[in-house]
Amino acid sequence: MKITLLNSKTCHCSDLEQELNALGFSYERFFVEDNPELAERFGIRHCPTLIVDEKRVIPIDEQNVARLKELLA
């Protein structure tokens, strides 16, 4: 499974990254400011967002950080 984390430079995503690491998921992180084509390609309007296997887009908020394992299954 390939996980891409798209966030902004002002995003406070440390909880998300800590949770991904705690669950043992590896991921690549990109900043939307440096990679606007990713946001455009996937129609992303909310950061942080996970892109899974170049197909599934999961906007992340506080409520679903705890559900990451389930969301990524």
| pLDDT above 80 for 49 | yes
Q: Omega of the bond prior to 48 within 30 degrees of 0, cis? A: yes
Cα 51 to its chain centre, rounded Å, is 6
| Digit-coded pLDDT (tens) for 10-46 | 987 778 888 899 999 999 999 999 999 999 999 998 8
> Three-state SS for 56?
strand
Tokens matching residue 70: 């389930």
pLDDT at 21: 92
Least Cα distance to 6 among 62, 37, 15 occurs for: 37
Topology, domain 3-72: Glutaredoxin (3.40.30)
Question: Is 58's pLDDT higher than 80?
Answer: yes
Residue with tokens 């984390």: 5
